[in-house]
Structure 1
Amino acid sequence: MSRADYSGMEKAKTFIVVEIIEYVPNSVVIKTIIRKTTGNVSAVSFDSGESLAHRLVPFDTYIQIIEGKAEIVIGEEVNNLNTGQSIIVPANVPNTINANERFKMISTVIKSGYDDIPDMSLL
């Protein structure tokens, strides 16, 4: 693992995301998959009854539920997501993630301000 990229997973090795993080009683567990200056990807597990209120984040956050069901409140709107469903939490909007039952998710943040970097998807 390179000190400069703070990745939590070994590069060039396959893994199953839902298996890299476990449930811990009465806890929210976060495992960084990859962290760069331009953003990060994390696997997160929530035990039943746990919640996480986010401060205002200046970037959009993509959330995908990979196991179970989650309640994600964005502003005042309640969204109930099941396994396989995703949502984008807009930047600078208060939000809370509630675990009415335990679940796992992937959180992806892509930071703005790097618009001069070439679009690699066109290659």
Structure 2
Amino acid sequence: MEKKFIKNIAFSEALTLESLVEYQEGRVVSLTLVQNDAMSMTLFAFAQGEGISTHSAPGDALVYIIDGQARISIGDKTIDAKAGQTVVMPSNVPHGLDATENFKMLLVVSFK
């Protein structure tokens, strides 16, 4: 059997990313698609008011907002991002995010 690098998602099908994670009140729902030494790729659904506290990561992180809106902090900068927009958070710079309304995102972190 051939090694798979992507997991938890159907292969050889046309899929809508937004439908792969569902909102749950008071929760952050995640689905890991890739996790290895070079990168991670995770889908998230955040209920309004939920978030990820400020932290830093050893890789550059790209967020693509699939649905809704989030407030993203990067260092001393704050960005309001909405569906269809992308924000890149540089490695080793403190960042966090808050769901100003229900929102879904694809997070891709490159470690190499």
Q: Does TM-score exceed 0.5, indicating one fold?
A: yes
Q: Does 1:49 align with 2:46?
A: no
Secondary structure of 1:79's counterpart equals strand
- Bigger shift: residues 2-11 or 58-67: 2-11
Partner of 2:58: 58
- 2:15 aligned residue: 15
Q: Please tell me the residue identity of whatever aligns with 1:31.
A: L
Q: Which range is displaced more, 70-79 or 6-15?
A: 6-15
Contact 1:6 1:36 in 2 (8 A): no
Q: Give the CA deviation at 1:35.
A: 2.7
TM-score by length of 2: 0.89
Indicate the residue corresponding to 1:28 in structure 2: 28
Identify, as 1 or 2, the structure richer in strand.
Answer: 2
CA distance 1:105–1:68, change in 2 (3 Å): same
Q: CA deviation at 1:96?
A: 1.1
Distance 1:31 1:54, change over 3 A: farther
Larger radius of gyration: 1
| CA RMSD, Structure 1 to Structure 2 (Å) | 1.8
Q: Please report how far the alpha carbon of residue 14 of structure 1 lies from its aligned counterpart in structure 2 after TM superposition.
A: 2.3
**Structure 1: segments with no counterpart, 5+ residues:** 113-123
Structure number with the bigger relative contact order (C-alpha 8 A, sep ≥ 6) is 2
**Percent of aligned positions with the same letter in both sequences?**
26
CA contact (8 A) 2:55 2:96 kept: no
* Distance (Å, rounded) in 1 between the aligned partners of 2:84 and 2:5: 28
- Normalising to structure 1: TM-score of the pair? 0.82
2:10 is matched by which residue type in structure 1? E
The aligned residue for residue 85 of structure 1 is 85
Alpha-carbon deviation of 1:68? 0.6
